[in-house]
């Protein structure tokens, strides 16, 4: 799981931008963001336009690298919990607690 740092001004963002929102440059390096802290978490019961569906735990995680990311938690965790982050092959970011 990586986020993206501008080589010119070190601004770190996720998702990756086309141009840096701070300095306008377009060169980035990947920065490891394998861990973070849960800031908010919601239990998702119902999806618009879809009947049924599993309950999911969607969270905002402040990565230790800086940016906030939206993740699916493997299990319900409270705000403040430290989680590891894994990028799935379909693009989902999954948060889990060891």
Partner 1 sequence: MNDFAGVSIVAAVEVPYTRHAPAGTSTAGLLAQALKAALSQAELSTNEVDGLGVASFTLLPDHAIDFAWRAGLRVGWCMDDCHGGASGINLLQHAARAIQAGDASVIVLVSGDHFEAADFTSLVENYNVTTRTHLRPLNTGGPNPLFAMLTQRQMRASQLTREDYAALCMAQREWASMNPLAVYREPLTLETYLAAPPVAEPLCRFDCVPVVSGANAIVLTSSTHRCAERLPVRIRALRASYNVDHQHGDGLVTGLAGISDALWRDANLQPADMNLVSVYDDYPSMILTQLNDLGFADDQPDLRTFIHERIASRRLPVNTSGGQLSAGQAGAAAGMHGLVEAITQLRHEAGARQVDDARFAAVSGYGMVQYRYGMCANAVVLERGASQ
* Interaction site with partner 1 (CB under 8 A): 13, 15, 21, 39-50, 53, 56, 58-60, 68, 70-72, 88, 90-93
- Shortest Cβ distance from residue 84 to partner 1 (Å)? 17
Q: How far apart are CA 53 and CA 21, in angstroms?
A: 37
The distance of closest approach from Cβ of residue 97 to partner 1 in the complex, given in angstroms and rounded to an integer, is 18
Residue 51 vs 98, nearer CB to partner 1: 51
């Amino acid at each position: 799981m990586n986020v993206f740092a501008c080589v010119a001004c070190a601004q770190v963002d996720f998702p990756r931008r086309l141009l840096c929102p701070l300095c306008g440059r377009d060169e980035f390096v990947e920065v490891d963001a394998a861990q973070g802290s849960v800031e908010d978490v919601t239990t998702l019961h119902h999806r618009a336009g879809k009947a049924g569906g599993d309950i999911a735990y969607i969270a905002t995680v402040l990565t230790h690298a800086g940016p906030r990311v939206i993740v699916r938690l493997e299990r319900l965790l409270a705000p403040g919990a430290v989680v590891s982050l894994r990028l799935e092959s379909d693009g989902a970011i999954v948060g889990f607690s060891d």
